[in-house]
Amino acid sequence: MDKLIIEGGKPLQGEVRISGAKNAALPLIAATLLTSGIHTLRNVPDLRDTRTMLRLMENLGVRHSREHDVVTIDTTDLYHAEAAYDLVKTMRASVLVLGPLVARLGKAKVSLPGGCAIGARPINFHITGLERLGVTCKLENGYVDASIEGRMKGDVIYFDIPSVTGTENLLMAAVFAEGKTVIKNAAREPEVGNLVDMLNLMGARIEGKGSDRLTIYGVEHLQPADCAIIPDRIEAGTYLLAIAASGGEGTITHCIPEHLPSLLEKMRATGLQIEEGEDTITVRQPKGGYDRLQSVDITTRPYPGYPTDLQAQFMALMTLCSDVCVIQETIFENRFMHVPELMRLGANIRVDGHSAVINGRSLDGLTGAPVMATDLRASSSLVIAGLAASGRTEISRIYHLERGYEKLVEKLSELGASVWKEKE
């Protein structure tokens, strides 16, 4: 396995281009299953997770090819409708093939994803939503065996929690359902909106994009897609926080500032200067300089609240501040695994249930040390802390990072970071 080496203490400067969103690419790739034909997806990031999803599609009979960031997907032939455990266990987003397979073939057999480092990650909302549309779902031997005779019937689906992939799965399942389907308390993440746009481009009739109420009027069939993936707001936020924590200043390009309302507001509250352009965001140090960074509390919430996927990265920044702040994680039950690793770098943090108290600046700032990545976003928090720390930080198990950050070493190097990979 590879490890990432960072010689920290260098302020980052310059520009970095944001790639397509992982969490939009995964549902949009799955959505091509809804109809036979040749689809074109643009601005698709080349990541471990997108490669896993395309491999899963291959197992179903789908052919695909990539030219730079354009992926062509041929869903003319589907051999079968089973997503096996060996792939699903490596990426729980594989469950996104469930809805489109049932919609197109009337059946699907998808392994239950199982938990992951950050939580149990159940899919009960996905299943109860499908059952509401008339699908029979049998849970046996670790699989969901879903089937329906004839056409689904539209109905009202209510989510206790606005599940992102739950909303996406049910959107795809309902496109052919007879009559009208309403999803209440739907997720409002921009990635869900990207899927709504793609499905409507294919001929679906979905209203309510961006709201917590989505209405789907069933249609008979769809055309193949030609659609662009939106920029990755989580990658964008990660680089903004990395530039800030390193004491530098820089601009991220090819992003959508409106997709980061809560992060930008919280970064401004620390004293950082944030300037929004059409598709760029520039971050500069506080007017009084790096030492004027203020501690700021955050609580993670569904979009447009503060994103759970940027919680660990913000904590890395807060370890550099000169006061005390509290970070509350309300979405997942175990998303503080970056804390013990940050403490190895000298941070002073106490976890109490779903809250973490970050006790201001360690006396001598952060110092480099060997640390271990545990999940995708915790790993990026360690990268940010390593960039800010003096000396060398070595991050092991960086396959976690490669799931969600395209060309990470190249992009950080372009910003002036001293970072490279080595064999473990």
Report the catalytic residues: 116
Q: Which stretch binds ligand EPZ (CB under 6 A): 123-131, 249-257, 344-352, 361-369?
A: 123-131
Of 30 and 244, the one with the shorter C-beta distance to ligand EPZ is 30
**Smallest gap from residue 262 Cβ to ligand EPZ (A):** 12
**Could you say whether residue 262 binds ligand EPZ (CB under 6 A)?**
no
> 29 or 93: whose CB is closer to ligand EPZ?
93
Give least dist CB 285 to ligand EPZ, A: 28
Tell the burial category of 412 from Cβ atoms under 10 Å away from its Cβ (0-12, 13-18, 19+): buried
Q: Report the alpha-carbon distance of residue 148 to residue 36 in Å, rounded.
A: 20
CB closer to ligand EPZ out of 97 and 376:
376
* 3-class secondary structure, 148: coil
If the CB atoms of residues 41 and 272 are measured against ligand EPZ, the closer one turns out to be: 41
Among 25, 372, 376, 408, binds ligand EPZ (CB under 6 A): 376
57 or 320: whose CB is closer to ligand EPZ? Answer: 57
Taking CB under 6 A as the criterion, the residue among 12, 18, 20, 125 binding ligand EPZ is: 125
| Spatial CA neighbour of 44 closest among 63, 61, 60, 65 | 65
Residues 6+ apart with CB under 8 A from 86: none
Pick from 344, 352, 308, 306: nearest CA to 326: 352
Start-to-end CA span in the chain (Å): 5
Q: Which of residues 310-349 bind ligand EPZ (CB under 6 A)?
A: 331-332
Residue 245 Cα distances to 211, 241, 343, 349, 400, angstroms: 34, 6, 16, 17, 21
Per CB under 6 A, 260 contacts ligand EPZ = no
User: What is the x/- site pattern for ligand EPZ, positions 72-101, by CB under 6 A?
Assistant: ---------------------x--------
Contact between 126 and ligand EPZ per CB under 6 A: yes
Q: Is residue 130 part of the contact set for ligand EPZ (CB under 6 A)?
A: no
- Between residues 119 and 416, which has the closer beta carbon with respect to ligand EPZ? 119
Site for ligand EPZ in 135-174 (CB under 6 A): 161, 163-166
Q: In terms of Cα–Cα distance, which of 27, 18, 33, 82 is closest to 50?
A: 27
Please select the residue that binds ligand EPZ; options are 51, 89, 107, 121, rule is CB under 6 A. 121
Q: Which of 41, 132, 120 is nearest to 332 (CA)?
A: 120
Asked if residue 48 binds ligand EPZ (CB under 6 A), the reply is no
Q: How many residues bind ligand EPZ (CB under 6 A)?
A: 24
Cα separation, 318 vs 81, in Å, equals 46
Binders in 186-245 for ligand EPZ, by CB under 6 A: 187
Question: Could you tell me whether strands 349-352 and 355-359 are parallel, antiparallel, or unpaired per DSSP bridges?
Answer: antiparallel
Given the complex with ligand EPZ, which of 5 and 93 has the nearer CB atom? 93
Q: In what order do the strands lie in the sheet with 2-8?
A: 370-372, 391-396, 2-8, 418-423
CB 136 to ligand EPZ: min, Å: 18
Indicate whether 119 belongs to the interface with ligand EPZ (CB under 6 A): yes
- The DSSP-derived string for 349-409 is EEEETTEEEEES--TT--B--EEE--SHHHHHHHHHHHHHSBEEEEEE-THHHHTT-TTHH
Measured N-to-C along each axis, helices 22-31 and 190-201 cross at an angle, to the nearest 10 degrees, of: 30
Which positions lie near ligand EPZ, rule CB under 6 A? 22-23, 26, 93, 119, 121-126, 161, 163-166, 187, 308-309, 331-332, 376-377, 404
